[in-house]
Amino acid sequence: MKTPDARSRELRVWQGGMELVEPVYRVTQSFSRLEVYGLTSQLRGAAVSIPANIAEGQSRHHLKEYLNFLSMAQGSVGELETELEIAARLKYIDQATLAELMSKLEPLARQIRALRAALEKPKQS
């Protein structure tokens, strides 16, 4: 029998979330030290929250809980998008970096929505 961690690692949506964490950490290393407890922390937290919520939901025993954690992961995608836009407006990241990170976020958001829809579908029958 596979452990919950092993099952979540197999999900493309979890893998996509994990692929965002590293570039967000790298990008925020160059932010002003004044942002350590501000935007840097917010960006890193939102990025980590995406795969963490997917994994936590996957390990739950009830579908309703899983759907709730996927909803939180989706919310973290929105939070990360907004915080990246703020970082660009403050000139902490350039437009190319913003575009690169957003290009990873958009398909991830679609994957989370698709997973939620697939899990909810049997409930609607």
Find the CATH number of the domain harbouring 26: 1.20.1440.60
Question: Structurally, how many domains does the chain consist of?
Answer: 1
Report the distance separating Cα 23 and Cα 58, nearest Å. 24
Query: Under a CB-based contact definition with an 8 Å cutoff, are residues 112 and 73 in contact?
Result: yes
From first to last of its 125 residues, what are the pLDDT tens digits of the chain?
A: 344 456 767 889 999 999 999 999 999 999 999 998 999 999 999 999 999 999 999 999 899 999 999 999 999 999 999 999 999 999 999 999 999 999 999 999 999 999 999 999 866 55
Structure tokens, 87: 């970082």
* 125 occurs within a structural domain: no
Structure tokens, 3: 């452990």
* 107 occurs within a structural domain: yes
Closest CA to 98 of 45, 49, 33, 43: 43
* 26 occurs within a structural domain: yes
Domain with 82, as residue range(s), is: 4-120
Query: Under a CB-based contact definition with an 8 Å cutoff, are residues 46 and 76 in contact?
Result: yes
Closest CA to 43 of 29, 22, 24: 24
Report the distance separating Cα 112 and Cα 120, nearest Å. 12
Structure tokens, 71: 């909803």
